[in-house]
Structure 1
Amino acid sequence: MVNQVYQDMASAIETLVLLMDNEGLWPSTNSTDAEPSETALRSQVPFALDTMGFESWLAYVFIPKMKHILSAQMPIPSMSITPAAEQYFTQAPPAILDQLKTIDGLSSKANLNE
């Protein structure tokens, strides 16, 4: 059961990447300023809102961290990202918000199974 949650979460994260890319919200790999600085990545503010946009936080902080957690089979943290996305990611298409809701739900499921 736990392995299924990890597989479902990995699939949900990959779907989020595809949705962001399809909507033009995934940072361009061709841009020289696409990746935030080390200082920006060390932000202590929730979602690094003081140093980057919410979509950049998803791309450079959240998604890599979740991929690491999943590949290392570490415990999936309890999270509720959707409310922050609704507030700070104002240009987020409904499909991306729905995918974040799916990820939040899988997080809850993973923590119920501990």
Structure 2
Amino acid sequence: MSAEPQTLLYAIERELKALSWWESVPPSAQALASTEPFCLDTLSFAQWLQFVLLPRLQAMIDAGAPLPSRIALYPMATESFKVLPEDTGALEETIAHLDEALSGQPVRRQA
């Protein structure tokens, strides 16, 4: 699957909603101000996707700015989701496709 980043952002949003992880109330400004990678100390990975990654990439697309090419979200996604009871396979696959679309490199999938 080779998709445009914009399409993949929508697909990530759809998957978060399908898992009932889409939140209507954003985290506090303090939580969003974390300096840890992925706001690991203040947000779940799903919250980080919704409230940090998706808005930032969308803003870059809207501004015509270059998108990051050094990105590896898939390893963090698989690590974050492996302890959860939900089937996150479709979300993980969509995140892998986003990594591939932005980096131009294939993602090594978890077995």
Q: TM-score, normalised by structure 2?
A: 0.83
The percentage of aligned residue pairs carrying the same residue is 26
1:20 correspondence with 2:20: no
After superposition, what is the alpha-carbon deviation per residue over 1:42-95, rounded to whole angstroms, capped at 9, x for unaligned? 101000010011100000000000100111111110211000111123336100
Q: Which stretches in structure 1 are left out of the alignment for 5+ residues?
A: none
Contact 1:55 1:89 in 2 (8 A): no
Give the superposed CA RMSD.
1.8
Supply the distance in 2 between the matched residues of 1:41 and 1:50 (Cα, whole angstroms): 10
Q: How do residues 82-97 of structure 1 correspond to structure 2 at under 5 angstroms?
A: 82-90=74-82, 91=84, 93-97=88-92
Question: In the alignment, which residue of structure 2 is the partner of 1:107?
Answer: 102
Question: In the alignment, which residue of structure 2 is the partner of 1:65?
Answer: 56
Pairs aligned (count): 100
Supply the distance in 2 between the matched residues of 1:88 and 1:72 (Cα, whole angstroms): 31
Q: TM-score, normalised by structure 1?
A: 0.81
Q: How do residues 23-38 of structure 1 correspond to structure 2 at under 5 angstroms?
A: 23-27=19-23, 29=24, 34-38=25-29
Q: Which stretches in structure 2 are left out of the alignment for 5+ residues?
A: 106-111
1:54 correspondence with 2:45: yes
1:11 correspondence with 2:7: yes
Q: Per residue, is there more helix in 1 or in 2?
A: 1
